[in-house]
């Protein structure tokens, strides 16, 4: 008779995601995962697969939970300008408040692994394209509402915003300086006028 799992599978995956997000793939050991998730090795492997499979599931969960849902919420609750501003500020605020910034799990994984792992490159690139598409939608909506300049090219500007956002995310971890982060946000938003 199969034994019933004594832990919440989704909660365990969320805990693994948080661990990988904090430390990265290479710096996270299987023992770190066992300790963080509160499961034994056999349960970890039997439920989630090996470390790499668990990492891929964690990265996909982050993309769905943190990225897709956050963009959807910004798009539905705020004006185009407010949505774009809040996306940038959401990454800068922890660093500006003096909290250690975890950055973005997608960006962190892209920097750590995408150059030599095609599967992770695809997940991170798809997520970045999702953010870029969000920017395109916000720019077009902002042009219709008069919040943004009618003459800007939505696709080109969205790519510039994506590059600024990625740079901001990296700098929140390496140089969390108030003036620097505020300048990046102001420069990015200035492209929309």
Residues 6+ positions from 107 with CB-CB distance below 8 Å: 124, 166, 169, 170
> Taking Cα atoms as reference points, which of 65, 64, 86, 74 lies closest to residue 134?
74
| Biggest distance spanned by C-alpha atoms of the chain | 67
pLDDT at 11 over 70: yes
Decide if 28 contacts 19 (C-beta within 8 A): yes
pLDDT at 20 over 60: yes
State the distance between the two ends of the chain, measured CA to CA, in whole angstroms.
66
In this predicted structure, what is the pLDDT of residue 7?
67
In this predicted structure, what is the pLDDT of residue 100?
74
Q: What is the average pLDDT across 127-132?
A: 97
Residues 47, 3, 12, 10, CA torsion sign: positive
Structural domains in the chain? 59-190 (1.10.357.10)
Query: Tens digits of per-residue pLDDT, 140-193?
Result: 999 999 999 999 999 999 999 999 999 999 999 999 999 999 999 999 999 999
What distance in Å separates the CA atoms of residue 151 and residue 45, rounded to the nearest whole number?
54
Q: Is the pTM of this model over 0.95?
A: no
């Amino acid at each position: 008779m199969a034994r019933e799992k004594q832990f919440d599978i989704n909660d365990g995956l969320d805990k693994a995601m948080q661990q990988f997000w904090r430390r990265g793939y290479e710096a996270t050991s299987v023992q770190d995962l066992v300790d963080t998730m509160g499961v034994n090795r056999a349960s970890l492997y039997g439920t989630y697969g090996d470390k790499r499979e668990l990492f891929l599931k964690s990265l996909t969960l982050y993309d769905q939970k943190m990225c897709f849902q956050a963009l959807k919420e910004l798009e539905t609750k705020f004006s185009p300008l407010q949505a774009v501003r809040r996306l940038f500020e959401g990454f800068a605020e922890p660093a500006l408040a003096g909290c250690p910034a975890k950055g973005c799990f997608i960006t962190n994984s892209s920097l750590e692994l995408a150059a030599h792992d095609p599967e992770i490159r695809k997940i991170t690139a798809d997520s970045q394209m999702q953010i870029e598409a969000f920017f395109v939608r916000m720019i077009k909506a902002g042009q219709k509402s008069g919040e943004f300049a009618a003459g800007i090219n939505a696709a080109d500007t969205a790519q510039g915003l994506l590059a600024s956002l990625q740079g901001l995310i990296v700098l929140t971890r390496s140089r969390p300086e108030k003036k620097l982060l505020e300048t990046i946000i102001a420069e990015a938003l200035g492209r929309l006028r």
